[in-house]
Amino acid sequence: MVLSVEGLTIEAGGRRPILSDVSLTVGRGEIVGLVGESGSGKSTLARSVLRLLPQHATVSGRVLVAGDDVLTMDPDALRDLRATQVSMIYQDPRSSLNPVRRIGDFLTERMVLTLGRPKSEARARALELLAAAGLREPERHMRKYPHELSGGMLQRVVIAAALAADPALLLADEATSALDVTTQAETLALLRRVQAERELGMVFITHDLHLAAAFCDRVHVLYAGTMVESRPAKELFEDPRHPYTAGLLACTPELDDPRPIRPIPGRPPSLDDAFTGCPFAPRCPHATDACEQWRPQPVTVSGGSAACRLVEV
Ligand SMILES: Nc1ncnc2c1ncn2[C@@H]1O[C@H](COP(=O)(O)OP(=O)(O)OP(=O)(O)O)[C@@H](O)[C@H]1O
């Protein structure tokens, strides 16, 4: 297993944890989606894989990368993990790039500093990676500054940088959300191609359940820091079992879907909202009084699990 998160709970001073007893696995060559509304804990989960935790957080559970627990490893092992084993791609490529350094220097310096490659070798590898990331005329682009490239081209640079150390795991946090539709499709195709060629494990974070269903092998749906449904992408999309998953699908229908758009009423809870029962109950069209008391437990459903007492009965 490339990644195995086991019973991860992260508390950072709110009335409820940011993540509560969350578990997932990512195998070699597998794309695993993390879906949920803003504030559900997707980024916190991805960042925990690099041990980038909220300040003063209380953390329990395990985050195993290639069998080693990231949460307890020593500083040297953590540095090695961040430099060579796991790469993260963020929504805004500009946040990963230094605006006053040329693209070529950015890529080359990273390889010299973090991987200890000689400069000439790092330069040759940077050219190779930019070409592999679909950037035409890589020589010319190496001499450019970030502001001279479009968002889509910059995301290709960031993807090239992410592949420099041949990581086993890629964390893509809304990596295509800020791009226009055509560029988004091109970037997704690129991610899929490099992922398949290198048999990378990938955690793909998005708020778009349709996109996750199309792009991922398996999908986990997060709500208020809890995993509400975990299924193979196709099954989750065709037969959602948790009312929240069904709600997400109903509020973003496809073009040819004649049914009316039905937004989920209410808002996702903040960290100041605590629950005794199911966190989704206040917004759930099927909830009964008993749901306010039922602490969600994963119930086995076709292909995976859903944490809803109505699935159980
Ligand atoms: N460093 C931190 N300290 C305290 N609270 C935090 C910290 N980071 C995140 N949170 C809180 O944890 C919750 C989950 O945030 P997170 O960014 O993981 O959600 P998300 O699902 O990725 O949302 P988005 O789609 O908006 O990025 C939010 O309520 C957020 O305010």
In a domain, 152, yes or no: no
Reduced to 3 states, what is the DSSP secondary structure of residue 44?
A: helix
Question: What is the residue with the minimal CA distance to atom 1 of ligand 1?
Answer: 54
In a domain, 40, yes or no: yes
Ligand 1 centroid – CA 40 distance (Å): 7
Contact assessment for residue 162 and residue 143, using Cβ atoms and an 8 Å cutoff: no
Q: What's the total number of domains in the chain?
A: 1
The pLDDT-based confidence of 265 (bands split at 50, 70, 90) is confident
**Rounded to two decimals, what is the model's pTM?**
0.93
Residues 6+ apart with CB under 8 A from 253: 259, 261
Whole domain around residue 218: which residue ranges? 1-96+200-313
- Best residue among 42, 49, 55 to mutate for probing ligand 1's pocket (most ligand atoms within 8 Å of CB) is 42
Pocket of ligand 1 contains residue 305 by CB under 6 Å: no
In a domain, 127, yes or no: no
Pocket of ligand 1 contains residue 206 by CB under 6 Å: no
Ligand 1 centroid – CA 130 distance (Å): 32
Residue 21: what are its φ and ψ, rounded to 5°?
A: 50, 55
In a domain, 160, yes or no: no
Listed residue (239, 91, 256) closest to 176, CA to CA? 91
Q: Which two tokens stand for residue 204?
A: 């793909």
Residues 6+ apart with CB under 8 A from 184: 176, 177
In a domain, 168, yes or no: no
In a domain, 88, yes or no: yes
Q: What is the domain-level CATH number for residue 263?
A: 3.40.50.300
CA dist 93 → 90, 175, 176, 249 (Å) = 6, 8, 10, 28
Res. 110: pLDDT tops 90: no
ipTM confidence: 0.95
Q: Is the dihedral of CA 139, 144, 150, 155 positive or negative?
A: positive
pLDDT per position as a tens digit, 40-88: 999 999 999 999 999 999 999 999 999 999 999 999 999 999 999 999 9
In a domain, 219, yes or no: yes
In a domain, 166, yes or no: no
pLDDT of 313:
47
pLDDT of 255:
66
